[in-house]
Each structure stands twice: as C-alpha cells, then as structure tokens.
Amino acid sequence: MNPSQLRQKILTEHATLRAKLGDVKSLVARVRRGEPGSEPQLRQLTLELVKAFRAHIAMEDEELVPTLRDIDAWGQIRAERVERDHEWHREALDKLEGSARSDGGADLLRGLESLMQSFLDDMQTEDETVLHPNLLRDDPISIDQSAS
C-alpha cells in the first residue's frame, strides 16, 4: 500500500471511530439521565468501542509505524511517538474494558468521558501531523522545496 492510500485508510477509520465515540457520548447522556436499560447498552457499546480501537491501533502499528520510520529523517522519532501513544491507549482501553465488565457504573462513566476526549484529541493531532498529506505522499520529492 502506498503512503497516500495508507493515509486515506487511516483517515477513514478515524471518521468511523469518531462516529462510534459520538454514539457512546449520546448513550452516556442517557445513562446520566437515568433512562431505563441504558447502562447495559453502554457497557456493550463500550466493549465494542474498545475492540474497534484495539483493531485500529494494531493496524497502525503494523502499517503506519513502519512507513513513518522510512518516510524521512524524522521518521524514527515520529514512529516512536506513535508507539508511545499506542502503549498509553492500550493501557487506557484495558482499564475501560475492566470498568465495562464490572459493576462500577460511575467508574465507567468517568473513564469514558475522559478517554473519549483524549482519543478525539489524539486523532486530531495525528490527522494534522503524521497523516499530513505533505508527509504521507507517494512522491518523495516536494514541489515546494528549494535547492538553495
């Protein structure tokens, strides 16, 4: 897969994950209002969200990280940053999954609210940095470069 195709694949997954996060946010509001049956739905949707994020992180580890390492002189540093972020995400997802499987509804709500914003922020940062079209492009020569 060439860099621009990988970029598009990840951006598409980010859009899907943002939609899932929106669904979870709506369900969190229903739980906070005390709507009957909303808490079991939230637990299930949280487990689905955890699974989706784990799959996304695994894909980025397998496809994006190696691409970043070879993309330019700063590639190794970018790849290491993504790997560090992913390690933190895995730990947070483990805690969130534990809350979703336990009886602590308040812990689940707090964890979700914190993690949802963090994931949204991280995806936005990733979109603007390591997924920038000037970085993940098929032609390694930049038209805007100067030889002087």
75 contacts: CB under 8 Å, gap ≥ 6: 68, 69
The torsion angle over the Cα atoms of residues 43, 45, 49 and 51, rounded to 10 degrees, is 80
Contacts of 1 (CB under 8 A, 6+ apart): 9, 63
Please tell me the predicted confidence (pLDDT) of residue 121.
92
Q: What's the pLDDT tens digit per position in 93-104?
A: 998 898 888 866
pLDDT exceeds 50 at position 125 = yes
SS3 for 10?
A: helix
Residue 122: in which H helix or E strand, if any? helix 105-128
Percentage of the chain exceeding pLDDT 90 = 59
8 A C-beta contact, residue 58 and residue 91: no
CATH, domain 3-128, list 1.20.272, 1.10.3470, 1.20.120, 1.10.10: 1.20.120
**Amino acid of residue 123:** M
Question: Quick one: pLDDT at residue 103?
Answer: 66
Instruction: Give the residue extent of every domain in the chain.
Output: 3-128
pLDDT at 90 over 90: yes
**pLDDT, tens digit, for every residue of 41-55?**
999 999 999 999 999
If you average pLDDT over residues 26-41, what whole number do you get? 90
How many CA atoms, within 13 angstroms, populate the side-chain half-sphere of residue 28?
19
Q: How sure is the predictor about 148, in pLDDT bands with cuts at 50, 70 and 90?
A: very low
pTM, full prediction:
0.86
User: Got the DSSP string for 54-117?
Assistant: HHHHHHIIIIIHHHHHHHSTTHHHHHHHHHHHHHHHHHHHHHHHHHHHSS-HHHHHHHHHHHHH
Q: Is the pLDDT of residue 27 over 50?
A: yes
